[in-house]
Every structure is written in C-alpha cells, then in structure tokens.
Amino acid sequence: MRKKILFTAFFAVFCIATVVIFMALLKSCNKNISPEAVVKRFNVALNQKDIEEMLEYIEPTEAQIINAAISKIDDTIGGNTLSVIKSWLPFLSDFTDLELWPEYDCKIISTDVYDNSAKVLTQFVNVSNDDKYELEFKLIKIESKWYIQYASKK
C-alpha cells in the first residue's frame, strides 16, 4: 500500500513538473518571434477586432496607458467598453453605410532589424475594396520580445 502511495505521489510530481517545463518552453518560444510575426499577429487580432490581443503586441508602457483609459471609461459607463464597441460596430456600419472596421490583408515588403529595434514596411490591402496603403511599423525589443512602438503611413 505504501509503495502505491509513493508511486502515485511520484507520478503526480512528475506530471506537474512536465507541465511546468512545457509551459516555460512555450513561453520562451513566444518571446523569440520575429518582428514580422509580431506585425502579422497584430493584423490577425485587428481583423478579429480583438483589442485585448492587439494590446499584447504594443509596447508595454503604451498598452498600460490604453488599458488605463479603457478602465476609466468602464468605470464611467459601468460596463465593458470593449464589448460595447464590438457590439455596436455592425449596427453603426449598417446605419451609416461606412466600413468602420474593415478587414485588411497585410503583406510584408521589407524588414530592417537592428540590435533592439526594427522597422517593418508593410502593404495593407482592404479586403472588401482593394484600397492599398503602406505602413511602416517601428518595433522595439524588450527582454527578448518584440513590441510595436508605433506605425506611420508612408
């Protein structure tokens, strides 16, 4: 009986250790994604209207400022600002005949990587009407992870 308890305890510790190691490896893999991948993932989040996900790719200080503003609005309206925005977008688009949050295809044109900064030149194409424009993303590396610092239209 005692051997069975020891084996069960050992097996439980082994399973927990395996999960912890797997999570650490997964987290470290996510840190080393390229500047291009950050821009592409940001675009996917943009197309999905996933503001929380978009903020994960923005420089942390800027993301904190945006989150603080959203939190302040949440406190003022007594609700979840992001949910309200997402729920009203289809209605506002239909009501105004404007495409308020169009879907874009992001094509990487060029990338310049320096020590702790990078520039990614992209072409954004509106999926519904083929309008095209170039955006240059400036990224910064913080603790081995790339973040979007700003983007400017070319």
Q: Could you read off the pLDDT of 15-36 as tens digits, one per residue?
A: 343 433 444 444 444 456 999 9
For the segment 110-129, the average pLDDT, to the nearest whole number, is 94
Q: Is 28 a domain residue? A: no
Q: Is 102 a domain residue? A: yes
Q: Is 142 a domain residue? A: yes
State how far the Cα of 107 lies from the Cα of 95, in Å rounded to an integer.
31
Angle in degrees, 0-180, between the axes of helices 81-96 and 60-77, rounded to the nearest 10: 80
State how far the Cα of 73 lies from the Cα of 68, in Å rounded to an integer.
9
Query: Tell me, what's the pLDDT at 129?
Result: 87
Q: Is 2 a domain residue? A: no
Q: Is 105 a domain residue? A: yes
Domain at 71, CATH number:
3.10.450.50
Give the range of the structural domain holding residue 114, as residue numbers without chain letter.
37-153
Q: Is 72 a domain residue? A: yes
Number of domains in the chain: 1
Q: Is 15 a domain residue? A: no
